[in-house]
Structures are given as C-alpha cells and as structure tokens.
A and B are shown apart, each in its own frame.
Chain A
C-alpha cells in the first residue's frame, strides 16, 4: 500500500513528471496556436527531432547549452516555415507534407549523425553540455514541493510558464481573439480586416519556436546525447494533447502532464521488474483512454459518422 502511495505521489514520480512533461508541454502549447488558426499539422516529430539534433550539435560546438537551444529554435522555425510554404502557399495536403517531413527529418538527422559525429545509432559526449539545474532559494524551504519543483533545468520552468502566457495571449489579447476567429470562420475573420495569412504564419512561427525548445530539451537535459529517432513518438503525443485540448494551451498542457505522469510512474515501476515494453506502451494507452473518456458524451447506439 505504502509503495503504491509512494509511486503515485512520491517526489521522485512528480519530479520526473515535471521533467518528462516539458518537451510535450512546450510543443503542445506552441502547436495549440496553429491549431487555433485551423492549420492541421502532425509534423511535430520532425520539428522536435531536428531541433534535438541541432541542440546537441550547437551545444557540442559551443560548449554552451543556450547556443544549442538557440540553434534548435532556428531549426524548428525553418522546418515550420517549410511546412507553411507548402501548406499555406502551395496548397499541399498538410497530412502528406507532415508525413514526408517526419520521415525526411529522421533520415536527415540520422545522416547528419554519421556525417558530423561519424557514428551510427547514437552520439554521446560530455562536450554536449547540458543545462544546469537551477536552485531557487524560495522553493528550497518548502517541504515536499522543493524536491519536485526545485533544481530543474530552465526549460522546465519555461515550459510551465509558457502554459499561462500562452493561455493569456490566446484569451486576453486582440491577437488571440483574431487567431481563434480565423479557426472558427476564416472568411468572417477576413471581412473583419484580419490578415489571415499573416496570423497563420505567426502561429506557425510560434509553433516552430516552441517545438524547437521542446526538441532541445531531450539532448540537453542531462543525457549529453543525441540518438537516432530520439523523439520516439513524443511529437505524436504532443499532437494528441493539442487535439484533445482543442487548441486551449491549459487543456493541452494538462493532457501532456497526464502522459508524462504515466510515463513517470512506469519509470518507477521498471525497478519492480515489470517488462519495459509494457511500461513504454503505457503513455500511448493513456492517450487512447483519454480520447475515449473525453468522447464518452458522443456515444450513441445509432451512430452516424460525419465529416471531420
């Protein structure tokens, strides 16, 4: 019993939750913006994976994780821009562009791994300098909480702050109002003098920056490593969080935290000899469960499918 409580509420689990949720939160908060403008995108694997590579590379070259993160953001923005050009200007199907980008970025980063670091599979080096954990004096004194919140790296704090900043921008500013307007009625927004393309692009850039940061978290949070296909589905988890959260950063982040919490519990469970594959599977199972729960109200015995 005690062990169960420890697993569910222990500081280790929650501290891990905060860490593990960071890349998903960052990406899903950013992705919420483009979701609100009605842009469909599942290329988060691409943005995050490429960003992760460039974060590792930047940090490796400069010895400074901030340079790495900056490079990651640039990569995220450039790829989001590629997506934008194809989808917004060339009328390409966003799903197929996303798939091609996801696949292409896996090939590209794996190729770069062999070209830049001359290795296959993964590259680990102390020269990839991590972000240092931050000791916040106020937090130090609070029992329980300090073990969870204190001594995390800066990206964790940025992620959690971004949830609220994102929500405020979305619901309290003219920019957010217009953004949501575009998603609800594009022609209507246009007749209200809103420059649709401009707003869609700004949303895309926000998405690129945030997924860039999300990607940067992975190599620079203590692993000092980049490995092939490092994101391992986190981009898709972020996509699920955005979808369930319907573009609301608060809801999306909540779902992201739920995924991370599952992940954190399973990490603790590994030491009990539970097969790793089942544990790795859990966050994805949770996604399906969350989807079902959030759609229970739709259940009907005489169902009719509509266009979605």
Chain B
C-alpha cells in the first residue's frame, strides 16, 4: 500500500500520562478513500491517539501530516477546520435542544449577529438528502433512539465538511441490524470520497468493513495489515498476545426451584410513560437468565423495579421465593437475599470519593460489620474487605485508599466481590464487564458461572450480546418494554437475537 496516497500520517507519536505510556512511538497512516480500522483492547492507546489527532490532547512528541503537509493544531477547532470529524462513543448531544441546534452548534450559519436558521436548515437537509439519512431535524434529541442519535452525530460531522471521519466504537450501541445499516452508510460515505477511521475491538466487523487495519497493544503498534490478507485469529494474537478469543467453559449442572417470578409487571416512569409492559418471566436457582436488548428498551426500568430503586408507578407482582416484594424497600430486598450490581459503576455502583472499606460494606452494613445496634465494627469490616481483596484479586495498597485511585477493572472486581460474597439467593447483574480489561472480563465471567453453579439465581442484563450468549442458560429479549421469550433460546444465532431486539419475529426452522 506504499504506493497509494496517504491522506493522513501520524509519525512517532508519544504520549505519557503520569506512569503510563499511552502512546509509544506510534506511526499510523491512512489511505484516502478507505475504511481504516484501529483496533486494540481497552487501554491499548486507541482513544489517546485519536484525541491527539483531534487535538483534545497534545502529544509529547511526534508529527502529524495531513494531505502531505505537516500540521500542528492549536485547538480542537483547528482539527475540524482541516476536515477531521469525530463521532464519539458517548454521544456529544445536547438533550434539551432540537436535532438542528445539535448539528449546527459551534458552526452556525450567520446572518449579522443572528443565527440564520433558514440557511442552516437548508444545508442540513441537503446533507440528509445526499447521504440518505432519514431524520426529523426539528425533533428534540431526548426522545430519539440510539441509532438515530448516531445518525445525528454523523450528520453533524458531515455538516462541518469533514472528509476524515473517526467513528469511536460505533457498533457497541447497535443491534446487528443497526450495524448492518451503519456499514451501509459507511460504504456510501467512502463512495462519496470520505475516509473513515473505525475504532473498535470487534474483529468480525473489522474484517467485514475495513480495508486496512492497524493493531495497537499496550500503546504500541503490533501490526499494520490489509483486511483481505488476515483473519480473526491473527488479529486476536496481535491484540492480546495470545491466540484466544474470549470464551468460557460452562459446565453442566442442575437447575433448582424458582427463586424470582415476575408476573404481569408494568412500570411507568415519572412522566407516566410505560417503560415495562406486562412482563412475566422467572429465574431458577442455579440458572443464568440473560436479558438482551437495544439500550433504552426498558431494561433500566425493569431492574429498578426489581431492586426497589424505581421512582415510577409499578403494577404486577414480583415474587421472591413466593413472597410479593413489590412494595419492599431496597434494604429489605437486600436482606431477603437479592444482590445487585449496577450498570454505572462510577456513579451508582461505588462512591469514588469513599475509601475501599466504605465501598466494600455498602448494602450490607446493617447486616454485617456491626457490633451493637448502631456501632461500626472495624475489625469485622477490615476482615471482610480483605477477604474481597484476596478472593477477587483486587489490586489495592490499603483499605483506606480512595476508590478513585483504582482502575476500572479493579473497581468492578471490588463491586462484584461485595455482592457475591454475601451468600445472596438472587444476583441482578447489569453490564458487569463494560469497559474493563480482558483479564478482568474473563475473571468476572467465571465468577458468575461459579455463583450459578453454587445454586444462586442470576439475572444478567447486558448490552453486550456476546456476553449474554456466552453466559446464559436462557435468553430473553427486551424490545420496546416487552419481554420476548423464545422456546429454544440457546440455539438462536446472533443474527436471530438481533432481529428479536428490533422487534422482528423468528420462524421456527
């Protein structure tokens, strides 16, 4: 590929954070009019490299060449002016504003000192038409589904005349069908002469869509290859240094009596919108029940209702060991034997300002770690905290350290240990491995399976379809507030589940 013209070259990029070498002499070249995948595990340095390109961060050393000329951006705006646009993993939308306001933000068409809404609208509509995006530009973005938000973000980048478009983990929020239509859009954009940089860690997708691939590991480039000349196994080896694709062993064991039984559960949120519609299902002891679905299909509200955190109006029955717990408090449910791992570990799952021991006893401080009725028993607390640290391999220096000093993987292991070591009968687990290193993922997956083996009922709600498929005994799909159950869910393929996530029907083969 040396003969081709590089639209973007990054030479010898170095960036160091405190003790971490995030980018170690990285050289990254992108051919014009191609899809270039930048792959690597979390923490491999992908985001740092892109942040350097878009000048959110500045490199310690290294040069960037754009269309053959060296550039030195002063601020993020400079990068945009040079035609580099980025669609972030966490969408940068302004919820209370319209789609139009979202798109033009920072790059408004002006008439005197005022915004020229007419001209802005014309331009945006033109882009929608040209690139075949079908979106209502006067809608407020609050109510839009995730796939539409992603479109808004892509239109935003096109509106700013970007011809190098960076997509950061764009498929993580999409269903397989959503991914298909995104890829369609990507191919279309490339046909129109745009260059796409795709950041991802999903190898299948890379091989399907990319022309070129650059692999990063621990801040270094471990390979630059053509997609057509490589395969999943080689990429995996370059990414993780060993030839494994994450897979867990699930031994056969017996499934016991019903622990949790949901009957006709409906949840309306505080603005009276029905988020969970007439859901009925059950979880048995020793069983892992997976629930997958597009983000925002009602999983959050379902979990809140089960755990006792709901602000809304709940109807129906939640039977735990035969007892309706629908009106019980969070504390009571925990005491009865329900453990909970929240989706958002930094805002809900832990108190980052608090110490490790403070985080280790939360939820169980009134049942464990007390001497008399009101006093804390530091001896008990310390021994329990140390047990978590030891059993769950949490890397810490002292139990008095603040949780914010730990890495994501260690925080998650601390959290998992807290809930798993309490001999609970039911564990409600949301996205247990989001954004943590592959070693921790493997560790946590194995622990979940082990818990089930010991007879705990596990309800696993995850946005990673792969995770649900790997771990679950049965899989439910949540679509638009409803629970969809398939008789023989273990035999379904990824595509079939994806179809269910979008409300499609599976015909028995």
Contact = CB atoms under 8 A, between A and B. Distances in A.
Nearest to B78: A193
A239 B156 CA distance: 36
Contacts of A125: none
B77 interface: yes
Contact of B86 (A173, A189, A191, A195): A191
A185 B115 contact: no
Contacts of B131: none
Chain B interface secondary structure, helix, strand, loop or mixed? loop
Contacts of A181: 94, 97, 105-106
A105 to B, nearest CB: 32
A219 B75 CA distance: 46
B95 interface: yes
A180 interface: yes
A191 B105 CA distance: 10
Contacts of B80: 193
Nearest to A188: B92
B106 A185 contact: no
Nearest to B112: A173
B477 to A, nearest CB: 29
B107 to A, nearest CB: 7
A192 B77 CA distance: 7
A168 B255 CA distance: 66
A191 B75 contact: no
B108 A174 contact: yes
B94 A193 contact: no
B105 A194 contact: yes
Contacts, number: 64
Given A184-B95, A184-B96, A189 B105 contact: yes
Interface in B58-96: 75-77, 80, 86, 88, 92-96
A184 B94 contact: yes
Nearest to B86: A191
A134 interface: no
A190 B86 CA distance: 12
Nearest to A303: B311
Contact of A194 (B56, B106, B113): B106
B138 to A, nearest CB: 15
B101 interface: yes
B114 interface: yes
Nearest to A172: B114
B371 interface: no
Nearest to B81: A193
Contacts of B115: 172-174, 177
B92 A187 contact: yes
A192 B92 contact: yes
B332 interface: no
Nearest to A174: B108
A272 B4 CA distance: 91
A202 to B, nearest CB: 14
Interface in B84-133: 86, 88, 92-97, 101, 104-108, 110, 113-115
Contacts of B104: 177
Contacts of B270: 300
A19 interface: no
A234 interface: no
A178 interface: yes
A295 interface: no
B199 to A, nearest CB: 15
Interface string A136-180: 000000000000000000000000000000000000111101101
Contacts of B97: 180-181, 184
A270 B97 CA distance: 47
A304 interface: yes
Kindly name the residue among B97, B106, B113, B115 whose own CB sees the greatest number of chain A CB atoms within 10 A. Answer: B106
Kindly name the residue among B54, B86, B92 whose own CB sees the greatest number of chain A CB atoms within 10 A. Answer: B92
Kindly name the residue among B54, B75, B105 whose own CB sees the greatest number of chain A CB atoms within 10 A. Answer: B105
A178 B105 contact: yes
Nearest to B95: A184
Kindly name the residue among A172, A181, A189, A194 whose own CB sees the greatest number of chain B CB atoms within 10 A. Answer: A181
Given A177-B101, A181-B105, A191 B92 contact: yes
Contacts of B114: 172-173
A178 B113 CA distance: 13
B131 to A, nearest CB: 20
B474 to A, nearest CB: 32
A192 B311 contact: no
Given A177-B105, A194-B106, A185 B76 contact: no
B86 to A, nearest CB: 7
Interface string A10-50: 00000000000000000000000000000000000000000
A191 B88 contact: yes
Given A192-B92, A193-B80, A174 B110 contact: yes
Given A177-B105, A193-B75, 6 more contacts: A173-B113, A174-B110, A180-B94, A184-B96, A188-B105, A192-B107
8 contacts: A177-B104, A177-B115, A184-B95, A185-B93, A185-B94, A191-B86, A192-B106, A192-B156
Interface of B: 54, 56, 75-77, 80, 86, 88, 92-97, 101, 104-108, 110, 113-115, 156, 270, 311
9 nearest interchain CB pairs? A192-B106, A188-B92, A193-B77, A174-B108, A184-B94, A192-B105, A193-B106, A191-B92, A194-B106
